Amino acid sequence: MIRATEQPQAAVQGTVRAEGNPVIQHVYTADPSAVVYDGRVYLFTGRDEAEADQQTYIMREWLCFSSPDMRTWQPHGSPLRAQDFAWAQGDAFGSQVITRHGKFYWYTAVTHATIAGKAIGVAVADVPWSPFRDARGTALITNDMVAAPPGSMNNLDPAVIVDDRGQAYIFWGNGQAYYARLKENMIELDGPIRKLDLPGFQEGSRLYKRRGWYYLSYGSGMPEKIVYVRSRDLDGPWEYCGILNEIAGNCQTNSGFILDYQGRSYFIYHNGALAGGGSHHRSVCIDHIYFNADDTIRRVVMTSEGVYGAPEP
């Protein structure tokens, strides 16, 4: 057993299985996203590497895990590091992987080496577990493109989705939400960057579509709870729908990703529940998520049993 004063091990061999939440317990993980490929779920996370007494974000790489059942997870190491972007100074912050045209695109937030502030990069690979490479050689979005003060954190937490017409969009932001269209090649903007005024927007944009609705969730307040809006069109207008997931109580931030897999829907998020955890030592968890008859989302309750809890009929 890991005592509350101990840190998780840096790595394990073979599969890992946690009887509940957090689902990954040998390393601190955060900012999850996921895709389904060849019958398996591929979970992508950031890695919190701060020492036990450090209260700051130390994040150098992203991790990949896969599962056939949302319970047993196979670690695939680190397919991407901040240093893999030659133009970046560091910081492997919030990210998302999406698959399109037979490839996997990883949108990331890092610190730019020469343009003060955070920037968004995009990497590409043929399979989700293999090393990703910088798809552009330059940042996709930089601080000067959003007219933010030098050194700001505006370009955090990219979220990407393709609408029913085949148009790709990217949403992101910190303090201010932004969005833009992407070209068919997924590595260039297709038009201007637009501001999006969302109630209480802090950071952590995430996108999901279901039954003709697009759902945009994000962290609100500090400490953060997750709220969401919905729309029939990614260009809006957006309808505010309220709280999706409450304040964790053991972590200042949260980031929630919705995934459909084998006929059920799951809410993948992070908190500070792992032994020795907290705001800078986070852990990814998974719970069931349910929808109301009017296609609004029922509030997700964080549980210790996670996907081991009996799902509702």
Residue 312's nearest CA partner among 281, 289, 280 is: 289
Q: What is the 3-state secondary structure (H, E, C) of the chain?
A: CCCCCCCCCCCCCCCEECCCCCCCCCCCEEEEEEEEECCEEEEEEEECCCCCCCCCCCCCEEEEEEECCCCEEEECCCCEEHHHCCCEEECCCCEEEEEECCEEEEEEEEEECCCCCEEEEEEEECCCCCCCEECCCCCCECHHHHCCCCCCCCCCCCEEEECCCCCEEEEEECCCEEEEEECCCCCCECCCCEEECCCCEEEEEEEEEECCEEEEEEEECCCCEEEEEEECCCCCCCEEEEEEECCCCCCCCCCCEEEEECCEEEEEEEECCCCCCECCECEEEEEECCECCCCCECCECCCCCHHHCCCCC
Q: Is 6 among the residues known to form the active site?
A: no
Q: Is 31 among the residues known to form the active site?
A: yes
Tell me, what amino acid is at 105?
Y
Distance CA 42, CA 132 (A): 14
Residue of 31, 91, 224, 287 with catalytic role? 31
Residue of 91, 203, 224, 287 with catalytic role? 203
Active site residues: 31, 203
